[in-house]
């Protein structure tokens, strides 16, 4: 649709004309600003915790565990140099030999959600699945933070219900 519009605009004498191929879905999923009726509806990005501990594939479990303990987190996200989420460490992953490389014990490819996900349906899903937290990445897979269900529930208790999303 945007391609045909770009060509039509050119036929009407405009130049230069560009086409943002990934469109607004990409824009909002990257956590960029929104205008319109949906802008005021609570979204994941509004309540995420951004100070999530991270580590690299080549780190070892003992040093990462120590670092997480120091900041009071039981979870650590494994990222690469571009901050792309590759895995997650939690629960039994900490109970292995302390010298074990992160890569050997991490949970590969954990489920992630986008910053523009509406908070209410996402929270309902977390409640149904009995999930306490989810990872939020932008559309490029870059870590933005972690959404805790209790934070989401608290925020929603102060908000009216959002409309259904198309």
Partner 1 sequence: MPRDINRNEVQRLIANGAQLVEVLPPEEYNEAHLPGAINIHLKKLDAQTVQQLDPTRPIITYCHDFQ
**Residues making contact with partner 1 (CB under 8 A):** 1-10, 12-14, 16-28, 30, 32-39, 166
Distance of closest approach, residue 2 Cβ to partner 1, in angstroms: 4
11 or 58, CB closer to partner 1? 11
Distance of closest approach, residue 111 Cβ to partner 1, in angstroms: 21
Distance of closest approach, residue 3 Cβ to partner 1, in angstroms: 7
Distance of closest approach, residue 122 Cβ to partner 1, in angstroms: 17
33 or 72, CB closer to partner 1? 33
Distance of closest approach, residue 137 Cβ to partner 1, in angstroms: 15
Kindly calculate the radius of gyration of the chain based on its CA atoms and give it in whole angstroms.
Answer: 20
Between CA 37 and CA 10 the distance in angstroms is 31
Would you call 118 helix, strand, or coil by DSSP?
strand
Residue 96 DSSP class: S
25 or 95, CB closer to partner 1? 25
Q: Cβ atoms within 10 A of the Cβ of 77, count?
A: 24
Would you call 103 helix, strand, or coil by DSSP?
helix
* Phi, psi dihedral angles at 17 (to 5 degrees): -120, 130
Between CA 57 and CA 36 the distance in angstroms is 41
15 or 158, CB closer to partner 1? 15
Contact 54, 127 (CB under 8 A): no
Which residue has tokens 């590969």? 108
């Amino acid at each position: 649709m945007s391609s045909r519009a770009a060509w039509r605009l050119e036929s009407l004498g405009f130049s230069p004309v560009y086409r943002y191929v990934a469109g607004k879905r990409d824009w909002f999923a990257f956590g960029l600003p929104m205008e319109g009726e949906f802008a005021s509806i609570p979204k994941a990005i509004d309540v995420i915790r951004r100070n999530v501990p991270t580590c690299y594939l080549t780190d070892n479990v003992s040093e990462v565990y120590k670092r997480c303990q120091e900041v009071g987190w039981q979870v650590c996200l494994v990222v690469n140099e571009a901050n792309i989420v590759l895995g997650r460490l939690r629960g039994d992953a900490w109970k292995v030999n302390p010298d074990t490389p992160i890569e050997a014990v991490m949970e590969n490819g954990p489920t992630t959600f986008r910053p523009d996900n509406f908070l209410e349906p996402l929270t309902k899903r977390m409640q149904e699945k009995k999930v306490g937290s989810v990872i939020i990445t932008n559309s490029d897979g870059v870590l933005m933070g972690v959404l805790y269900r209790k934070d989401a529930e608290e925020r929603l208790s102060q908000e009216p219900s959002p409309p259904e999303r198309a």
